Amino acid sequence: MIAPVGLLLLFLAACHTDPKNPSASDKSTVIKKLQAEVNKKPDSVGVRLLLVNALDEAGNYKDAIAQMDSLLKKDSANYGLWFRKGQLLQTAKDTPGAISSFTNALKVYASPDGMLWLANLLAETKNPDALLLCKQVYDMRLGKEYMAHCDFIAGVFYSRSGNKKVAQQLFDRCINDSYTYTAAYLEKGFISFDDKKFAEALKIFQTASAVNNTDPQAYYWQARCFEAMNNKTNAITNYQKALALDKNLSEAAEGLKRLQ
């Protein structure tokens, strides 16, 4: 199964597949220029963060994290720096490192957004501390958007922990507070798909694409459902739609290869 899409507020990574993005050579040129600026102005936090963003965009997480470490050596009590490092580590799929960085950020400033980022990672690892963080944010009564995030993360925790009934209830509550919360529809669909209820899952994924017609995973999972139901034509169509939105979605390409 494709990794869960996670919170809407967690769509942090730049889209490396967007044809409007700079080419690899252009990115390399930008990085070299910014590195030269950092060498000239090693104490400039702004320039170094621009370099971090450029390295992140290029997928060079190791060097981007090294730059963040350099900044944190001089300012270890900076919430924003720990938070940004956590983002980088999460994108680099270093979950323990990301959890550590977000935890350090919250020691400096217990922001609700920081709590949610950390809770999301903890939920994926079936750590019940995710529920405690969600409750703290929920009790702040910051509005339906935050309530939806809390319910979504709690739903992820219960889904990963095998309590599908509670997970479904929380995803439904999330959607009630935020009808266009695509991630919640997808998570609901994953549960039905894993239970081999393909027709039911298909309806959920179709609703996901209706509320957000630019999400490639919504079409990918429709294709998976059609394929499971031996509907080759519609499976191919939806794999193609997914690839049109994300040309690097290898699972969709593999699906087409199987069927064509």
Residues 167 and 188 in one domain: no
Q: Residue 213: which residues within 8 A CB-CB, separation 6 or more?
A: none
- Report CA 252 to chain centroid distance, whole Å: 19
Residue 92 domain boundaries: 23-107
Residues 82 and 117 in one domain: no
CA–CA separation, 197 and 104 (whole Å):
42
Residues 186 and 253 in one domain: yes
> 3-class DSSP state for residue 183?
helix
What's the predicted TM-score (pTM) here? 0.83
**Digit-coded pLDDT (tens) for 38-70:** 888 888 888 889 988 999 988 899 999 999 999
Residue 84 lies in a domain: yes
Residue 236 lies in a domain: yes
Residue 68 lies in a domain: yes
Residue 158 lies in a domain: yes
**Digit-coded pLDDT (tens) for 90-107:** 999 999 999 999 999 999
Residue 213 lies in a domain: yes
Q: Given this model, what pLDDT does residue 21 score?
A: 55
Q: Given this model, what pLDDT does residue 162 score?
A: 95
Residues 49 and 102 in one domain: yes
Q: Residue 109: which residues within 8 A CB-CB, separation 6 or more?
A: 79
CATH number for the domain including 212? 1.25.40.10
Where a domain ends, among 107, 122, 141? Answer: 107
Residues 89 and 127 in one domain: no
Residues 187 and 259 in one domain: yes
Residues 94 and 28 in one domain: yes
Residues 67 and 131 in one domain: no
Task: Give the tokens for residue 246.
Answer: 């994300």
Residue 1 lies in a domain: no
CB 252 within 8 A of CB 243: yes
Where a domain ends, among 80, 107, 134? Answer: 107
Residues 46 and 81 in one domain: yes
Residues 208 and 222 in one domain: yes
3-state helix, strand, coil in the chain (%, to 5): 75, 0, 25
Where a domain ends, among 58, 75, 107? Answer: 107
Count of domains forming the chain: 3
Residues 78 and 140 in one domain: no
Residues 172 and 206 in one domain: no
Among residues 214, 213, 172, which one has the least CA distance to residue 189? Answer: 172
Residue 116 lies in a domain: yes
CB 203 within 8 A of CB 209: no
CA–CA separation, 81 and 60 (whole Å):
18
Among residues 126, 96, 131, which one has the least CA distance to residue 115? Answer: 131
CB 54 within 8 A of CB 31: yes
CB 6 within 8 A of CB 184: no
For 192-206, letters b (16+ CB in 10 Å) and e give bbeeeebeebbebbb
For 164-188, letters b (16+ CB in 10 Å) and e give beebbebbebbbebbeebbbbbbbb
Residue 160 lies in a domain: yes
Query: For each of the chain's 260 residues, which pLDDT tens digit applies?
Result: 433 334 333 333 333 334 455 666 678 888 888 988 888 888 888 888 998 899 998 889 999 999 999 999 999 999 999 999 999 999 999 999 999 999 999 999 999 999 999 999 999 999 999 999 999 999 999 999 999 999 999 999 999 999 999 999 999 999 999 999 999 999 999 999 999 999 999 999 999 999 999 999 999 999 999 999 999 999 999 999 999 999 999 999 999 999 98
> 3-class DSSP state for residue 90?
helix
